[in-house]
Amino acid sequence: MYIFLIILALLMCGLMVLVILSQESKGGASAQFSGGQANQMIGAPQKMQPLERMTWAMMTGIFVVVIFSNFFVGGGGKNILDNNNIKEAQKTKTTTPKKTEEKK
């Protein structure tokens, strides 16, 4: 299930790149270099275009898929303390020097 969700997220990311690249420019920095033509409607609110809605929906979908895939991550109940090196180190007892109290 985890692999399926990762593949789904990657496909959504690729599709989102294509949708973003197919959108029209809204001015911004590219308008400064094109002669300064204003291509915005001043004073009238514009409706969201279908491609822009699709971009927001896919961004939300990717976010949900990534968060949902977090529930499937795991090592089958393994704990970090189950490492063989840690177990071997715990078996071998090392003696640590005791601190001696100094009298003043």
* The pLDDT of residue 32 is above 90: no
> How many domains are contained in the chain?
1
Mean pLDDT computed over 40-63:
79
From the number of C-beta atoms within 10 Å of its C-beta (0-12, 13-18, 19+), residue 85 rates as exposed
Let me know: does 10 contact 58? Beta carbons within 8 Å: no
Which structure tokens are listed for 87?
């177990």
Tell me which residue range forms the domain holding 55.
1-22+50-69
Are 23 and 55 spatial neighbours (Cβ–Cβ below 8 Å)? yes
pTM check: above 0.75: no
Task: Encode pLDDT of 52-95 as tens digits.
Answer: 889 999 999 999 999 988 888 765 555 665 667 766 777 776 66
Query: How far is it, in rounded angstroms, from Cα 59 to Cα 56?
Result: 5
- Does residue 98 belong to any structural domain of this protein? no
Does 16 map to a domain?
A: yes
On average, the pLDDT of the chain sits at: 75
Q: How many residues does the chain have?
A: 104
